[in-house]
Amino acid sequence: MLLIDVIVTILLTTGMFFMFIGAIGLLRFPDFYTRLHATGKCDTLGEGLIIVGLIIYHLFHYPGTLVVTVKLLFLIIFIFIANPTAIHAIVKAAYKRGLKPWKWGERRR
């Protein structure tokens, strides 16, 4: 069980790291589009890694109950479809409303 716990810890820590990096990108990047790019990519990957860690933990610590594992698998599928689609829709709506991308040399907004 020690190896499984180490793997789960690595997955959870890596997922939290990507979520933290996405939050830093949200605060530090200069415009709307780059902020959404950072959060969209990092959050999707971070959430996926965290849920994979939870799946592995549940499979080895609570054998015989697959209902939670199946629910978590469906959650991963939903997140991997919904997050990029939502980010794309938000960016497209902002571009159609006339929000111009930031260019090098301009002041940050």
Q: pLDDT at residue 109 above 60? A: no
Q: Which residues, at least 6 apart from 10, have a Cβ–Cβ distance to it below 8 Å?
A: 53
Contacts of 72 (CB under 8 A, 6+ apart): 51, 54, 55, 58
Alpha helices in the chain (DSSP H): 2-28, 32-61, 67-96
Give domain limits for the chain.
2-96
Q: Which of 19, 8, 73, 6 is nearest to 45 (CA)?
A: 19
Cα gap 42→65, rounded to integer Å:
31
Query: Side-chain half-sphere of 30: how many Cα atoms within 13 Å?
Result: 9
Residues 30-39 have a mean pLDDT of 91
Kindly report, residue by residue over 45-87, the tens digit of the pLDDT. Answer: 999 999 999 999 999 998 888 999 999 999 999 999 999 999 9
Q: Is the pLDDT of residue 89 over 90?
A: yes
